[in-house]
């Protein structure tokens, strides 16, 4: 099995190197010059796009443009997969730009930080965009071999659940970062966990944060719910203080 990865940013470098550890040949290309991640060969764009499976590891906001540019160069025999943290829009863009290809929308729900303690049980979402076939089962089996928790769901199901889990976590992390929270000697366990959330979410790019909020059709509703919840807690507190 030959796997191509397009995009060697923080996630692409980590993910391509990880994929190489399961026995497949992994080749990569990127818009910008990058050194090859461990186990990965940097190859000419044409070769990478012609792999059996081609993962795009680019930012959500650049994905549509990248697809428009590269889709004419991707042979129809190549299975195309994205790895974006939202799924409704990327799936739509793949359908529009690669109508004849076998396509799978995916979300590996981890990164270099959260994978540090092992891969076992980390969620890996697959949203097949076509009838399942042998090619689908083969890549699913390959990914399963790493110990990920493979989850199949529709792109809408994914985005709704993700807005109220990953999306809110990043929102809380960025908000607390804005407050410049500091470590303290009297940190409770809860506060230490909160600081860890801030550290991990803010270690991801700011672009990912904005993309998670802008390109998830359920994120706005999530943020509104959060604002309403804060108002409720503050109002209840106010009524206690007035006593």
Closest among 223, 174, 179 to 199, alpha carbons compared: 174
Residue 185 touches a second copy, criterion: CB under 8 A: yes
d(CA 86, CA 91): 9
Our CB check for a second copy shows the closer of 73 and 233 to be 233
Residue 51 touches a second copy, criterion: CB under 8 A: no
Binding mask 163-182 for a second copy (x = CB under 8 A): -xxx-xxxxxxxxx-xx-xx
CA torsion sign for 40, 42, 45, 51 is negative
Residue 104, beta-bridge partner list: 81, 128
Our CB check for a second copy shows the closer of 136 and 215 to be 215
Residue 210 touches a second copy, criterion: CB under 8 A: yes
Q: How far is the CB of 161 from a second copy (least distance, A)?
A: 5
The correct pick among 21, 68, 132, 232 for binding a second copy (CB under 8 A) is 232
Q: How far is CA 234 from the centre of its chain?
A: 34
Which ranges constitute the DSSP H helices of the chain? 10-20, 45-49, 60-70, 88-97, 134-144, 155-162, 168-178, 189-203, 206-214, 219-241
Site residues for a second copy per CB under 8 A:
107, 109-110, 114, 122-123, 125, 149, 151, 153, 158, 161-162, 164-166, 168-176, 178-179, 181-182, 184-191, 193-194, 196-197, 200-201, 210, 213-214, 223, 225-227, 229-230, 232-234, 237, 240-241
């Amino acid at each position: 099995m030959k796997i191509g990865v397009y995009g060697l940013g923080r996630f692409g470098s980590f993910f391509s190197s990880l994929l190489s550890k399961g026995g497949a040949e992994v080749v990569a290309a990127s818009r910008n010059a990058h050194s090859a991640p461990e186990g990965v060969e940097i190859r000419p764009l044409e070769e990478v796009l012609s792999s059996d499976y081609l993962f795009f590891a680019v930012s959500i906001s650049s994905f549509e443009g990248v697809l428009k540019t590269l889709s004419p160069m991707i042979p129809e025999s190549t299975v195309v997969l994205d790895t974006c943290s939202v799924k409704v829009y990327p799936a739509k863009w793949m359908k529009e730009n690669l109508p004849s290809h076998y396509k799978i929308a995916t979300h590996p729900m981890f990164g270099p930080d959260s994978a540090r303690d092992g891969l076992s049980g980390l969620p890996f979402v697959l949203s097949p965009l076509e009838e399942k076939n042998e090619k689908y089962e083969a890549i699913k089996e390959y990914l399963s071999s790493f110990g990920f928790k493979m989850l199949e769901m529709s792109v809408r199901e994914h985005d709704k659940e993700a807005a109220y889990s990953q999306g809110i976590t990043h929102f809380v992390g960025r908000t607390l970062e804005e407050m410049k929270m500091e470590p303290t000697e009297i940190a409770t366990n809860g506060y230490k966990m909160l600081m860890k959330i801030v550290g991990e979410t803010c270690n991801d790019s700011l672009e990912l944060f904005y993309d998670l909020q802008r390109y998830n059709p359920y994120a706005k509703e999530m943020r509104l719910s959060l604002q309403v919840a804060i108002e409720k807690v503050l109002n209840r507190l106010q009524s206690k203080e007035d006593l």
